[in-house]
Amino acid sequence: MKPNETRPADTLIEESAKKLTKRLSLIANKKIKFWKALLIIVFVAGFATSLAWSISTDTMSKSQAASTKIKCSDSDGGKIIELEGVCQDNKGKTADYCVDNKLKPVLEGQKIREYYCDSKKDKCAVTTTKCPKEKTCKDGACVAIVSNLKSNFFKDDPIANSIINGKNYQLKEENFFTKDMKRTTLSFEYKLLSAFRQMGYNNLYYFYDRGQDGRFMISGLAPLSIFQKRHSLSIANPNIIDKNILKLIDSDLAEKEKSDKTLAEKYPPYGKFIDAPTNEPSKKHLVSLLSNFFLAMPDEIYEKIWTIDEFRQSLVIGLGGNLGRMMNSEGTRVLSLDEAVEVMNSNGDFKVCPNSYYQKFSELQGGDCINPSAAVVSEPPSDFDYMLTIIHEYGHGNQGEEIIKNGAVTNLSNLFGAISFDISDETWLRPENNYGEFVSGYARTGPIPLPYHNYSIHHEDFAESFSAYINEGKIFREKAQSNIYLRQKYDFLKSYVFHGIEYNTGSLESFELWNENHSQNELPFSVGMYEENDLNWVWDYKYPFITAKSQ
């Protein structure tokens, strides 16, 4: 027999019986008295039976132990991320826990390692899940964030809440930049840019240096340094966001959200916009930009795009791609041009994907309206820059209006264009020293090179002047004082387009700063560059009138 080998119970019983028979034979041969033999027989038989039962029972217990298995159980009932659970199987017990993006255990984070029972294998398995937007992982469960933040933009963000609770956050290049230098839109660094975007800041970019190892390192955030100056904050470390800084940003943003809500909900097409992508300004904020602009226009202008019907038409054949892409009524598919025209002609239902504002929706950035891009090639444009484009294109939409002048029907744009151009061949009436009669270089030359022969440059002059009248009213009037042709353009727009309304917009300080750093004949490329080149200028989102608009 091999060492430690256990013999079957039947074998042991048989051997005991043989020994008993042999003993009885000896008793018979020696003629032992009957009563003594009987006692011996009873004793040996009892011993053999007891031994057999003991061995049999022990063998059965070992066999049962080998075949018994702990059934997998999970205290929270499965993949229930809202509860901390403990999963148990033959290998032991394992509890759910929180992890960071690199799956390292943390006390509080955005992701959870959730253990559950694999029913097929009857053992514990694990999956990594990101907690919903409004929750954070704490003590092995996704729980509602208890926030001390005021703004909707920040209050459900785990990183923002950890900052406001006293944990400083260091801006890091590895969080923001991918290996091919794209910008990661799911990072807190990108979210900060979106926050400043909603507060009127321009120059939305990070300062960064190349380290000795060739890697880019963030050395500051442009709008943050301006924000700190405006709030008289000391700049101890430009890479650190602490609770005092975030509290001020959050407070300013919360106030902006209140006005955004009021303006957005006034605009009838508000419900047609799909929701904003993660870490981008809200849908309410975007719609408030449009609503704010249209409400500042004369009734004759804003009524053309205020209703859903007018908006639908402008989306297809007016502002078109500058507003966004038309989608089906469920917002699940972008319509082709033919489908969009059919919806327009039939007054059908639709949604709009604002891919010109949210670059994560842009195909040029690697995304689309259904699958937003997780990384983009550049920082987002400012709100001011976005609205400059919208207003310029809206100016094009008004250039085809016809008016009666001297008893004849005349096209607005052609009449306006004749101030500086020979309309027949698009040449300047005054080839030399004509810089002073244009609001921008683009108004003077159009795109360079021109897309085609006989391109209507005077149309760009109209659209740029239209934009300057609204966005840079004070600068437009200041420049018009020294040029009779620019004065003619201002008066033309005032009379025929804006029906007497004038705007107290634009920064004369930014205009003076431009003149200090540029030659007399050097025009900004486009309207708005006076302000955008002034690093300390922040847009207030207002289009104030010199005289109140009639109600």
* Residues 289 and 411 both lie in one domain: no
Can you tell me the distance from the alpha carbon of 53 to that of 32, in angstroms, rounded to the nearest whole number? 30
pLDDT at residue 41 above 80?
A: no
Can you tell me the distance from the alpha carbon of 338 to that of 180, in angstroms, rounded to the nearest whole number? 37
pLDDT at residue 27 above 70?
A: no
* Residues 132 and 166 both lie in one domain: no
% of the chain at pLDDT higher than 70: 85
Mean pLDDT across the chain: 85
Per the structure, the complete domain to which residue 90 belongs is given by 73-144
CB environment 499-538: b (16+ within 10 A), e (fewer): eebbbebbbeebbebbeeeeeeeebbebbbbbbbbbeebb
Q: Which pLDDT score is estimated for 216?
A: 66
* Residues 443 and 473 both lie in one domain: yes
User: Model confidence over 147-163: pLDDT tens digits?
Assistant: 899 999 999 999 999 99
* Residues 62 and 89 both lie in one domain: no
Lookup: tokens for 520:
């007399």
Looking at residue 97, its amino acid is Y
pLDDT at residue 116 above 50?
A: yes
Task: Classify strands 97-99 and 105-106 as parallel, antiparallel or unpaired.
Answer: antiparallel
Does 158 map to a domain? Answer: yes
Average pLDDT in the 481-507 region? 95
Q: Which pLDDT score is estimated for 320?
A: 62
Nearest to 294 by CA among 494, 14, 549, 12: 549
pLDDT at residue 43 above 80?
A: no
Does 538 map to a domain? Answer: no
* Residues 93 and 216 both lie in one domain: no
* Residues 24 and 134 both lie in one domain: no
* Residues 90 and 193 both lie in one domain: no
CA terminus-to-terminus distance, the chain: 110
Q: pTM (2 decimals)?
A: 0.76
DSSP state of 495: I
Does 546 map to a domain? Answer: no
Q: CB–CB of 535/222 below 8 Å?
A: yes
* Residues 395 and 509 both lie in one domain: yes
Cis before 449 (ω within 30): yes
Instruction: Give the distance from CA 42 to its chain's centroid.
Output: 90
Average pLDDT in the 336-361 region? 94
pLDDT at residue 20 above 70?
A: no
Structurally, how many domains does the chain consist of? 5
Q: Which pLDDT score is estimated for 194?
A: 96
Average pLDDT in the 393-397 region? 88
Q: Which pLDDT score is estimated for 107?
A: 84
* Residues 240 and 282 both lie in one domain: no
Does 537 map to a domain? Answer: no
Q: Which pLDDT score is estimated for 276?
A: 96
Who wins on pLDDT, 107 or 235? Answer: 107
- 3-class secondary-structure state, position 286: helix
Q: Which of 144, 164, 192 is the last residue of a domain?
A: 144
Average pLDDT in the 354-362 region? 93
Q: Which of 144, 162, 178 is the last residue of a domain?
A: 144
- The DSSP result for 176-187, as a single string, is HB-TTS-EETTS
pLDDT at residue 256 above 70?
A: yes
Who wins on pLDDT, 219 or 455? Answer: 455
Q: Which of 248, 277, 303 is the last residue of a domain?
A: 248
Q: Which pLDDT score is estimated for 54?
A: 42
Who wins on pLDDT, 208 or 249? Answer: 249
Q: Which pLDDT score is estimated for 18?
A: 52
Nearest to 353 by CA among 325, 332, 320, 329: 325
User: Model confidence over 62-94: pLDDT tens digits?
Assistant: 444 445 788 999 999 999 999 999 999 999 999
Does 51 map to a domain? Answer: yes
Average pLDDT in the 506-520 region? 94
Nearest to 226 by CA among 460, 476, 539, 527: 539
User: Model confidence over 129-142: pLDDT tens digits?
Assistant: 999 877 889 899 99
- The DSSP result for 512-537, as a single string, is HHHHHHS-TT---SSTTHHHHT-TT-
Helix boundaries (H) for 399-545:
412-417, 441-445, 457-471, 473-480, 484-492, 508-517, 529-532
Average pLDDT in the 31-52 region? 40
* Residues 451 and 474 both lie in one domain: yes
DSSP state of 322: G
Can you tell me the distance from the alpha carbon of 290 to that of 264, in angstroms, rounded to the nearest whole number? 8
pLDDT at residue 530 above 60?
A: yes
Q: Is the dihedral of CA 116, 121, 123, 127 positive or negative?
A: negative
Can you tell me the distance from the alpha carbon of 349 to that of 309, in angstroms, rounded to the nearest whole number? 10
Q: Phi first, then psi: give them for residue 24, nearest 5 degrees.
A: -65, -35
pLDDT-derived band of residue 490, with 50, 70 and 90 as boundaries?
Answer: very high
Residues found in the chain: 551
Q: Which pLDDT score is estimated for 390?
A: 93
Average pLDDT in the 444-459 region? 91
Does 313 map to a domain? Answer: yes
Q: Which pLDDT score is estimated for 66?
A: 44
* Residues 324 and 217 both lie in one domain: no
* Residues 394 and 528 both lie in one domain: yes
Average pLDDT in the 183-189 region? 92
